[in-house]
Structure 1
Amino acid sequence: MPIQVDVAVLGGGPGGYTAAIRAAQEGKKVAIVEQGKLGGTCLHLGCIPSKALLRSAEVYASLLHADTYGIKLSREAVKVDFTAVQERKEGVVEQLHRGLRQLMKKHGIEVIQGRGRIIGPSIFSPKSGSLAVELEDGEMESVVSRHLIVATGSRPRQLPGLEADGETVLTSDDALRMETLPSSMLIAGGGVIGIEWASMLSDFGVRVTLVEAASRVLPGEDPDVSAAIAKALSARGVRILTGAMLQQESLSKDSGGISVAVRQGETEERLQADRLLVSVGRIANIEGIGLENTDIAVQDGWIKVKPTLQTAEPHIYAIGDVTGGVQLAHAAAHEGIAAVEHLLGLMPHPAAPHRIPRCVYSRPETASVGYTEEQARAAGHDPMTAKIPFAAIAKAIVHGDSEGFVKVVADRGTQDLLGVHMVGAHVTELIAEASLAQFLDAVPWEVGASFHPHPSLSEALGEAMLATLGKSVHF
């Protein structure tokens, strides 16, 4: 007999397991089908392991500059044990994995380990959307549900001529498994992943060259943010080439690493490095999941969904990376909740894509929510901006790292808060206040009038809000 549930979730990443928990909270019988480890890319090959490595790199860099704080350490006494760094990363991942498995037990969610595929209607389900699951031992299991949520995620995009081999040409997945640090790394792509790896590796002492096709790194962010990150990384020795393209068929490999030509305008040069990391976006995991057995539409490689997150088959939803859009774990989790609340007949709060916080965990960090100044103008607003440097904030000076700023974008006529953009230490912790302010439709004076403890980095946000009105106190 098949396993019969109210809600089946195909994929156990942040979107999938969050959806499962929300459905279980409402008393629904739920099953997750996951071919890998519960937690998906974020927990095992993305957000968490990369942040663990970034933290180790940050600590190492801080120790190398301990004399800034009156602590005397010889450079020879500070060494990187990369094996231990990787062991710590694995320990962090496993601790969170254990906690996630316990959450599934707590909510009575059945987790089926295997590869799931959507099949057509059966005697148990008049609608397509039932799942055939190939278990790890090769046996088959059937899952029949009233509703199905597809949350199969994405994987790194590869470039013809620069395909990953796991040794010298790497995806971000491969890079997380490195057993030793290279002496040099060439990174193709100056988006979030490329910037985080450039920051991490340079902190570990690796020579980094970063190539970005756009005119600036982090091209989706405010230009001031892009400029600040480029300046910070360049100051640490990272060579950044923008408006540049790797000549994909020019790659050569030998015992010394890789060599590839790069064209920047009319100039072409050949770059060499121990390894090449290709971080040029991601593609949806839609192969082999049975979409051909449904009426689900695929557009540009992504599952097409309605604002309700329903596919062309109303009882089948799709969430997270597999739909394209904002490819962030917290966006997928929000969509998981929204999909479940919609199938329950509730009124979920829709998330405007530009109001989803965006974070880069480099050194310094970046964090943004809402429109950039350019986007606000394109949307028909008359934007005004204010920017407060962390150098004006006591806690940043005490912290010993006062680079960066908080920039606020507001509408000149209505005073509406349109966007907040930050660069600096711990700004990924500060962006939630700006996100909440937008969610509640707060205007800058309301945020600025609320208490921001002294000394704290949050004062920069309060001061920037007041600065839109010309009322900043400390700058």
Structure 2
Amino acid sequence: MHFDVIVLGSGPGGYVASIRAAQLGMKTAIVEKESMGGVCLNWGCIPTKSLLNSAKFLQSIKKNGELFGIKNENIEIDYSKVLSKSRNIVDQIKKGISFLMKKNGIHVIHGNAKLKKRKKIEVIQNEKSIAEYSGTHIIIATGAVPKVDKKFQCDEKKIITYRKALSFSSLPKKMIIVGSGSIGIEFAYFYHSMGTKVTIIEICSKLFPNGDNDISDYLKSSFDKIGIKNYLSSNINKITYNHENNEVIVDIKTSLKNIILKADIILYAMGVIPNIQYIGLKDIGIQTEKGFIVVDENYRTNIDGYYAIGDVISTPSLAHVASHEAINCIENIKSLNCQKIDYNNVPKCVYSLPEIASVGYTEKESKENGFQIKIGKFPFSALGRAISDENTDGFVKVIFDNKYDEWLGCHMIGNHVTDLIPEVVIARKLEATNYEILGTIHPHPSLSEAIIESIANAYGKAIHL
């Protein structure tokens, strides 16, 4: 059977590409080896946010319940219901995606896809070839898999990745998390909130290594206060098992000395790598570099008719990036005049408590790029809405170019900051300066006032600071 477009993978890149292709009148097929929605829906973005919401709700009652007139004695956690709630949400959204496939007339093919020459794919089920399809355009959107330390076996029993971390039948008493990017931070907060003793091991000198230094410092202070132990500038020398106590013993090297830690579980949260190992790239000659598929600005590979989007290419490994690349890829195929993605204006979010949201350059990056900068900050503790919500942790930090007033970056940590960052993304897209932004009116009381106040602070005009 021949299609105009065949998409490999049904994550936020793949399913969006298939829908947009169908909307533009292209006969479209999508190949998925597991469940519709890919890792993001089934084992990533969606279920983790459900778990985190349960954790935030629990912590809010424990911390502030009595302040709001809610008695909080004898609180118990029914962990099975916490898990089942997250899986029910996943199932609900999966049904929605399947409905969209039917609505748009997209042919769904179940199995592993392997690329063939002359714009063909082979579909494999249970290690047997079951069908071959051809397509005028073939889009690789197979996503990513967890990055693990190859020195230590990941058995998904005692040494696990995020997928297993979402499906424990009971809570571990002690957990070691390796890595403090967004995955590590979110799981650290969740399991700590549920009552697990959590320790983070990070090879870099700060938590959240890719974040602005002020954000990382505040996060560390926040985690220290609630009892999440952090070993920075540290790595693992050796892992052994104590079968008698059913625990893992970890020998780590810190900047000062070697330390022995014990835990029930080790969770690798070291990020992800492209899921491209078994899809036949070498067979047809598609070029890769440093583990990523090489594409041009229109997501075309070096082989005509083959494209790649999302986590398989060297752009930010984020669901919203993959979806936007999917639309651009399809619209370029149809020769539509779509806007190129500004990868320096992509919002990055972490959904722990406090939440983290950022866009653009960090302070360090701004200086490294030669900018003379103005910096403004505003703490949520000085904001009426945050005070009334009993959630005053965190701040907003803005960075402007001193010469042209270009908004170089914004970094937030606090309650609901992931909902505030789009304002900054739009303002930067429209090249707004401090003059335009300070001339806008923000509602009072609201958390968004922290943005306008931080900009005013950068220019010596702060009223409430």
Task: Sort the TM-score into its range (normalised by shorter chain).
Answer: over 0.9
Does 2:76 match 1:79? yes
CA distance in 1, matches of 2:411, 2:376: 10
Secondary structure, counterpart of 1:447 in structure 2: helix
Query: Could you tell me whether the CA contact under 8 Å between 1:357 and 1:368 is conserved in 2?
Result: yes
> How far off its partner does 1:138 sit?
5.1
Q: Which residue of 2 aligns with 1:252?
A: 241
Secondary structure, counterpart of 2:13 in structure 1: helix
8 A Cα contact 1:68 1:400, kept in partner: no
Which deviates more, 173-182 or 421-430?
173-182
Which of 146-155 and 290-299 deviates more? Answer: 290-299
Tell me the CA shift for residue 211 of structure 1. Answer: 0.7
Q: Where do residues 279-318 of structure 1 align in structure 2 (5 Å cutoff)?
A: 279-318=269-308
Q: Does 1:398 align with 2:378?
A: no
Distance 1:439 1:200 in 2: 34
**Contact 2:13/2:319, CA 8 A, preserved across alignment:** yes
Moved more, 16-25 or 88-97: 16-25
CA deviation after TM superposition for structure 1 residue 70, in Å: 3.3
Alignment correspondent of 2:464? 474
Q: Which amino acid aligns with 2:82?
A: V
Q: Which residue of 2 aligns with 1:332?
A: 322
Distance in 2, matches of 1:448 and 1:276, equals 48
Counterpart AA for 1:17: Y
Structure 2: how far apart are the matches of 1:29 and 1:135?
23
Distance 1:137 1:118, change over 3 A: closer
* Secondary structure of 1:75 counterpart: coil
Residue deviations 1:32-84 (CA, integer Å, cap 9, x gap): 111111100000011111111111111111121234523242431x1110001
Amino acid in the other structure paired with 1:49 = P
Query: For residues 430-469 of structure 1, what are the structure 2 equivalents within 5 Å?
Result: 430-469=420-459
Give the 3-state SS of the residue equivalent to 2:420 in structure 1: helix
Equivalent of residue 116 in structure 2, options 96, 115, 119: 119
Deviation at 1:189, TM superposition (A): 0.6
Give the 5 Å matches for 1:38-57. Answer: 38-57=36-55
Distance 2:103 2:449 in 1: 40
C-alpha distance in 2 between matches for 1:443 and 1:277 = 43
Q: Scaled by the length of structure 1, what TM-score is found?
A: 0.95
Q: Note the C-alpha offset of 1:144.
A: 1.3
Q: Secondary structure at the match of 1:428?
A: helix
Q: Distance in 2 between matches of 1:67 and 1:342?
A: 53
Deviations 1:287-341 (A, max 9, x none): 2212123221111111111222111113211011111330000011111111111
Identity %: 36
8 Å Cα contact 2:310/2:323 also seen in 1? yes
Asked whether the 8 Å contact 2:52–2:351 carries over to 1, the reply is: yes
Provide the alpha-carbon RMSD of the alignment.
Answer: 1.5
- Tell me if structure 2 keeps the 8 A contact 1:61–1:204: no
Within a 5 Å distance, the mapping from 1:204-215 to structure 2 comes to: 204-215=194-205
1:50 & 1:464 partners in 2: Cα distance? Answer: 31
| 8 A Cα contact 1:11 1:32, kept in partner | yes
Instruction: After TM superposition, list the pairs within 5 Å mapping 1:256-271 onto structure 2.
Output: 256-271=246-261
Q: How does 1:316-355 map to 2 (within 5 A)?
A: 316-355=306-345
CA drift at 1:448: 2.8
Whether 2:146 is the aligned partner of 1:156: answer yes
Whole-angstrom distance in 2 between the partners of 1:225 and 1:302: 29
Query: CA offset at residue 443 of structure 1?
Result: 1.4
Tell me the CA shift for residue 136 of structure 1.
6.7
Of stretches 362-371 and 16-25 in structure 1, the one that deviates more from structure 2 is: 16-25
- Aligned residue for 1:112, secondary structure, equals strand
Select 2:403's aligned residue among 403, 413, 435. Answer: 413
What is the SS of the residue equivalent to 1:202?
helix
Partner of 1:91: 88
- Residue 61 (structure 1) aligns with: 59
Partner of 2:5: 7
Equivalent residues in 2 for 1:185-224 (5 A)? 185-224=175-214
Measured in 2, the distance between the counterparts of 1:68 and 1:295 equals: 64
How far off its partner does 1:370 sit?
0.5
Alpha-carbon distance between aligned partners in 2 of 1:268 and 1:30, rounded to the nearest angstrom: 56
> Could you tell me how far apart the structure 2 residues matched to 1:12 and 1:70 are?
44
Question: In 2, Cα distance between the equivalents of 1:49 and 1:324?
Answer: 25
Q: 5+ unaligned residues in a row in structure 2: which ranges?
A: none
Contact 1:406 1:423 (C-alpha < 8 Å) held by counterparts: yes
State whether residues 251 and 260 of structure 1, in contact with CA within 8 Å, keep that contact through their aligned partners in structure 2: yes
Q: Is residue 122–residue 129 contact of structure 2 (8 Å, CA) maintained in 1?
A: no
Q: Is the 8 A contact 1:184 1:274 kept in 2?
A: yes
Contact persistence 1:210–1:240 (CA under 8 A): yes
Partner residue of 1:18? 16
Is 1:445–1:469's contact at 8 Å kept on the other side of the alignment?
no
Counterparts of 1:420 and 1:311, CA distance in 2: 34
Q: How does 1:355-366 map to 2 (within 5 A)?
A: 355-366=345-356
Question: Is the contact between residue 118 and residue 289 of structure 1 (CA under 8 Å) also seen in structure 2?
Answer: yes
Determine which of 377, 393, 404 is the counterpart of 1:387.
Answer: 377
Deviation at 1:134, TM superposition (A): 2.2
For each residue in 1:265-298, what CA deviation from the matched residue of structure 2 results, as whole angstroms up to 9, or x when unmatched? Answer: 2400100011111111212111221212322111
Amino acid at match of 1:252: Y
